[in-house]
């Protein structure tokens, strides 16, 4: 099913729900979170989530991090990582339909607009690359939207898996079409009536 998302063509910075990390000198902290689609690596800097990777990307980051995944994380990073792990658990259990986490994304202005609009695509629904291009105020820029989508640093929480090809085809997911299919099917099963 394809949906039209009601959002301004150019979200304001406040609609991005992102902010710069206030690191406090602790650097980036990571945690491995188990999931039905394989291990997820979530990263935080200070009090904001900066990355979520899955699959081989997560495995690459997990090397050398697994032993310290839940230890040595202090302060604000521990809080946001705890919140992310809890919300991801609730999402995979079918109890959470919208993440509420402080995010910091590093990308171009256009990429940040695409990612902000992605966060407005409702749980259990999809939007095509062309429709997303219209929503960000760039009709005809489906390829640019696809490129921004592929560079999404916070997969799942910024739901790039909800973007599909024209005609409903599953295309272009950095973490594999099978994961994309699983996530779309999972949301369809748990979508509120």
Convert the pLDDT of each residue in 91-140 to its tens digit: 999 999 999 999 999 999 999 999 999 999 999 999 999 999 999 999 99
Question: CA-CA distance, 48 to 25, in Å (whole number)?
Answer: 14
- Find the catalytic residue in 33, 58, 160, 184: 160
Q: Which CATH architecture has domain 108-190?
A: Orthogonal Bundle (1.10)
Which pTM value belongs to this model? 0.80
More confident residue, 89 or 14: 89
Domain boundaries, the chain: 28-92, 108-190
Residue 61: is its pLDDT beyond 60?
A: no
Q: Catalytic: 25?
A: no
Among the listed residues 114, 130, 191, the one whose alpha carbon sits nearest the alpha carbon of residue 164: 130
């Amino acid at each position: 099913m394809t949906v039209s998302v009601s959002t301004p063509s150019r979200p304001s910075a406040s609609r991005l729900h992102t902010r710069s990390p206030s690191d406090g000198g602790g650097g980036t902290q990571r945690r491995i979170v188990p999931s039905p689609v394989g291990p997820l690596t979530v990263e935080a800097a200070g009090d904001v989530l900066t990355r979520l990777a899955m699959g081989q990307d997560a495995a690459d980051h997990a090397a050398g991090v697994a032993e310290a995944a839940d230890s040595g994380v202090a302060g604000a990073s521990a809080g946001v990582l705890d919140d992310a792990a809890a919300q991801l658990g609730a999402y995979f259990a079918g109890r959470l339909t919208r993440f509420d986490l402080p995010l910091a994304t590093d990308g171009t202005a256009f990429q940040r607009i695409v990612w902000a609009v992605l966060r407005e695509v409702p749980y259990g629904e999809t939007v095509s690359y062309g429709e997303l291009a219209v929503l960000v105020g760039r009709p005809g820029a489906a390829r640019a939207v696809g490129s921004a989508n592929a560079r999404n640093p916070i997969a799942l929480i910024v739901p790039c898996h909800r973007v599909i090809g024209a005609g409903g085809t599953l295309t272009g997911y950095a973490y594999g079409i099978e994961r994309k299919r699983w996530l779309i099917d999972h949301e369809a099963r748990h979508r509120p009536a």
